[in-house]
Structure 1
Amino acid sequence: MSSQHARPGPRSIELFDRARRFTPGGVNSPARAFNGVGGGAPVFIDRARGAWITDVDGNEYVDYVGSFGPMILGHADPAVVEAVQKQAAKGLSFGAPTGLEVELAELISTMVDSIESVRMVNSGTEAAMTAIRLARGHTGRNKIVKFAGNYHGHVDALLVNAGSGPLTLGIPGSPGVPASVVEDTLVATYNDLESVKTAFAEHGDEIAAIMVEPVAGNMNCVPPVDGFLEGLREICDAHGTLLIFDEVMTGFRVHPNCAQAYFGVTPDVTALGKIVGGGMPVGAVGGPASVMETLAPSGPVYQAGTLSGHPLGMAAGIATLEQIRDGSVHAAIEPKMTALRDGLAARARQHGVPFMTQGAGAMFGMFFTEAERVTRFDEVAACDLDAFTRFFHGMLDNGVYLAPAAFEAAFVSRAHDEEAIEATLAAADKAFAAVAAG
């Protein structure tokens, strides 16, 4: 299908052909493949600055992927680049503590009220894995509740399909994940407290934690309905269960103090990634000292990482969080987000295309549906995925880069200025026309 479109260009196609010889599927993460939008070669990126990325063929795009969330300041932010370059000149990695690790941990703890202690890791997946192990070790229980459509990285115990019922005992979501590994994973329906209560009615004394994305960002962008997060907090309190917020995507993006401050619900453990590393591969797990001290070497729950607290990642994270901690970045993004979402909806109406957007803070989702709101995974799956594919290619051909899947959120940065928004809406006018034409 991609051959029918102007982009990607010949250099991207050449690189993809080479990549497929040496890399499974030609990409190092399935989220980068164009399989969800008709297949073919993805766009290979050469460089980026601000709100714009440039591919290896010299084509420029307004970027709404932002490395899937970290680039809240925009690409190649001068302060972040300078911090990384300065540290790189001192050395890349030591396998020993640095002051940067302490500085970033202090900064996170200052910005997020629920966090007193932080363990640095290397990715959001590792943060989720560590949070689960911590919860099990701290409570002495084995079962975990997660939600259909919530993605927590490729952790075996969390890579589980939901099935058709409101509660499904662990069914492996991928070959290579044994059924025995997920037999203690219970899957409930996002934004449905009754499905969670069902899980606790059957297994309450065995459940170590509920893990949830406070805003689901891996089934497009689906915010919580009123009372959902509050209800999870109450259920956990009643059963001595830990509430884990996976804020790998939402952390510092929907609010300078994370989604937990945005919604006013306090978790016991928080998994962080993306923005916390300023674009470098960094993750973190944080919570009250009474819980975090369960981790080795203070406690019996083992976790380690040779590159954890990597100096370049710590430098980038500090340089990023220092700029967003006062809320000015989020305040600057808010009117841009409003103009963008309103403009997209208006152009869809002009072309008679069923379409809506929803979001939280500096992230949003686009849905080709007649519905006024989408709240759960089956509703996302019921949207017109073919329409999204046509829209995606229409936007790409007209200089706007979106994630190549209908199940991914979009991200706005401080660098998305009036020029970028206007270019996006001009592209959307043509892309919606293509959707309407079929």
Structure 2
Amino acid sequence: MQITQSKNLFEKAKNFIPGGVNSPVRAFRAVGGDPIFIKKADGAFIYDEDDNAYIEMINSWGPMILGHNHPMIREAVIKAMENGTSFGAPTAREVEIAELIVSMVPSVEKVRMVNSGTEATMSAIRVARGFTGRDKFIKMEGHYHGHGDSFLISAGSGAITMGNPDSPGVTKGTAKDTLLAPYNNLEAIEELVAANRNEIAALILEPVPGNMGLALPKEGYLQGLRDICNREGIVLIFDEVMTGFRLAKGGAQELFGVTPDMTTLGKIIGGGMPVGAYGGKKEIMEHVSPAGPVYQAGTLSGNPIAMAAGLTMLNYLNDHAEVYSQLNSIGEKIATGIKETVSSLGLNYTVNHLGSMYSLFFTGEEVYDFGTAKHADTALFGKYFQAMLKRGIYLAPSQFESLFLSTALTDDLIKNILDANKEALKEIHQP
């Protein structure tokens, strides 16, 4: 497999782009080697600049539920472009997609379109603060809500310790209002609430986190958060940028039967185009300008091309419930196959799986929060990544990222994936 063009492009890119990439994980630093530069994608495959084909297991970090370059989405985008690419003014499609989102997502009574998941989460926190008149909020260790200053905070010495900036450029003043807690730990939340009573505006989390690898909520955990927030007047926010419309039509909140006060969305509602959204209860969303005093704006919000792609995708998902049984079946086959291989080779690794998301952790411990995820052998994962890549399987270039599957994966491709997985695990464990 020759990757000459990718190597040349990466060397050139480093002269003009910080680190040679426009998002850090793309640099392959966690797995070694140089990044692959992608020229095109179709169905279950991506193709690099040297025309190597890879079975793709990330699907643009989640949105390509139906596979890449789906004819239906492509046609919608091309047709929309005939009328122009950007207006900076309201369009009919914005109303249609808002109505559709409200009908599909249990927590959303009103919704505001933005341009990314980061915008959505930043805005949701601002609205929660404006609604409650409080400043602080709780986030979970290892949960990623975009690169907004308030979210780039690391844990302190304990559950009730104020956060410290986790990135240069984030001020201590910003960090002081962010409270950290471990995922799946209700006691830690109770401690934070007791120490900051009547000061906490919101609690935000990925109900099913995918940014520390995939972890699953323990029985009763999400409902426990709902109960605490109800009692304390805290706005409960589910970040469903990854899980929204992927785990179910109504996202993780539908799957687990727990309704938050607000929800942030992204990726899938653009059908692959840059887009995000936040929504929630009517009384909360009425605080957003121009209906209320909390300001948030964006020239490209509700972009007509993104709306055309997203409306086509959501209408399809809303009308074809069989997509979710198909996705679940694909996920089950792959996760079960990997578990069988791990067992047959006498390895002691953990596979977390839910629907069309999964992670193989190079640790024998149960992984249920960021602390346990960090016990994984990241160096060994890097070897596994490279072993899979040379066999034509493109994984997320980090142990701490979930994989996202699509309906484009046929039984033959699933067999190829599982065969490559077995060969790769054997290779990296050779004496």
Normalised by the length of structure 2, the TM-score is 0.98
Within a 5 Å distance, the mapping from 1:109-258 to structure 2 comes to 109-258=102-251
Of 84, 100, 108 in structure 1, the residue corresponding to residue 101 of structure 2 is 108
| 2:39 is the alignment partner of 1:43 | no
Could you list the per-position Cα deviations for residues 307-344 of structure 1 after superposition, in whole angstroms to 9, with x for gaps in the alignment? 00011111111111111124211111111111111111
Q: 1:20 aligns with which of 9, 14, 39?
A: 14
Task: Name the CA distance, whole Å, in 2 between partners of 1:63 and 1:27.
Answer: 19
Matches within 5 A, 1:48-67: 48-67=41-60
Q: 1:163, 1:219 → 2: CA distance?
A: 18
Alignment match, 2:332: 338
Question: Per-residue deviation at 1:163?
Answer: 3.5
Quote the Cα distance in structure 2 between the aligned partners of 1:55 and 1:288: 44
Task: Find 1:348's aligned residue among 339, 342, 355.
Answer: 342
Deviations 1:409-436 (A, max 9, x none): 0011111111211111111111101221
Contact kept? 1:353, 1:436, Cα under 8 Å: no
State how far apart, in whole Å, the 1-side matches of 2:47 and 2:198 are: 53
**In structure 2, what is the Cα distance between the partners aligned to 1:257 and 1:55?**
34
- CA distance in structure 2 between the partners assigned to 1:91 and 1:237 by the alignment: 46
The answer as to whether partners of 1:355 and 1:367 remain within 8 angstroms in 2 is: yes
Mapped to 2, the partners of 1:86 and 1:45 lie a distance apart of 25
Q: Matched residue of 2:359: which SS?
A: strand
Structure 1 counterpart of 2:76, which letter?
A
Question: Secondary structure at 1:157's aligned position in 2?
Answer: helix
Q: 2:113 is paired with a residue of what secondary structure?
A: strand
Structure 2 residue aligned with 1:365, among 348, 355, 359?
359
SS of equivalent to 2:386 = helix
> Structure 2: which amino acid aligns with 1:66?
N
Tell me the CA shift for residue 368 of structure 1.
1.2
* Offset, 1:168: 3.0
- Residues 6-49 of structure 1: per-residue CA shift (max 9 Å, x gap): 56x111000100110100000000121100012x3101111111
CA distance in 1, matches of 2:242, 2:25: 15
In structure 2, how many angstroms separate the alpha carbons of the residues matched to 1:105 and 1:264? 22
1:94-105 alignment runs, 5 A limit: 94-105=87-98
Report the secondary structure of 1:205's partner residue.
Answer: coil
Partners of 2:313 and 2:357 lie apart in 1 by: 17
The one-letter code of the counterpart of 1:96 is: A
TM, length-normalised to structure 1: 0.96
- SS of the aligned residue for 1:200 comes to helix
User: 1:107 is matched by which residue type in structure 2?
Assistant: L
User: Residue 284 of structure 1 corresponds to which residue in structure 2?
Assistant: 277
Are 2:229 and 1:273 aligned? Answer: no
Moved over 3 A (4+): none
Structure 2 unmatched runs, 5+: none
Residues 224, 375 of structure 1: 8 Å contact kept: yes
Cα distance in structure 2, aligned partners of 1:29 and 1:407: 15
How far 1:131 sits from its partner (Å)? Answer: 0.3
Q: Which amino acid aligns with 1:288?
A: K
Partners of 2:80 and 2:305 within 8 A in 1:
yes
1:88 and 1:157 map into 2 onto residues whose CA distance is 36
Where do 5+ consecutive residues of structure 1 fail to align? Answer: 1-5
Letter in 1 for 2:10: F
- Kept in 1: contact 2:160–2:195 (CA 8 A): no
Q: Trace 1:412-423 onto structure 2 (pairs within 5 A).
A: 412-423=405-416
Taking the aligned partners of 2:117 and 2:323, their CA distance within structure 1 comes to 23
CA distance in 2, matches of 1:168, 1:157: 15
Aligned residues: 430
What whole-Å deviation, never above 9, does each CA across 1:363-413 have from its counterpart, x for those lacking one?
Answer: 111111212x31010100001212211111110000000010000000111
1:429 counterpart = 2:422: yes
Q: What is the Cα deviation at residue 164 of structure 1?
A: 4.5
Tell me how far apart the structure 1 counterparts of residues 405 and 322 of structure 2 sit (CA, whole Å): 14
Fraction of identical pairs, as percent: 49
Cα distance in structure 2, aligned partners of 1:309 and 1:75: 22
Question: 1:126 corresponds to which letter in structure 2?
Answer: E
Q: Is the 8 A contact 1:353 1:435 kept in 2?
A: no
Asked if the contact 1:274–1:282 (Cα under 8 Å) also holds between the matched residues in 2, the reply is: yes
Q: What is the distance in 1 between the residues matched to 2:304 and 2:25?
A: 27
Q: Contact 1:351–1:436 at 8 Å: present in 2 too?
A: no
Q: Which residue does the alignment assign to 1:263?
A: 256
Does 2:375 align with 1:382? yes
* Distance across 2 between alignment mates of 1:176 and 1:101: 35
Cα distance in 1 for residues equivalent to 2:48 and 2:346:
32
Whether the 8 Å CA contact 1:147–1:189 is kept in 2: the answer is yes
- Paired with 1:202 and 1:167, the residues of 2 have a C-alpha distance of 7
Q: Contact 1:168–1:188 at 8 Å: present in 2 too?
A: no
Give the Cα–Cα distance (whole angstroms) in 2 for the partners of residues 262 and 210 of structure 1. 20
- Please point out which of 377, 393, 401 is paired with 1:408: 401
Q: Is residue 159–residue 192 contact of structure 2 (8 Å, CA) maintained in 1?
A: no
For residues 375 and 290 of structure 1, what CA distance do their matches in structure 2 show? 34
* C-alpha displacement of 1:437: 1.6
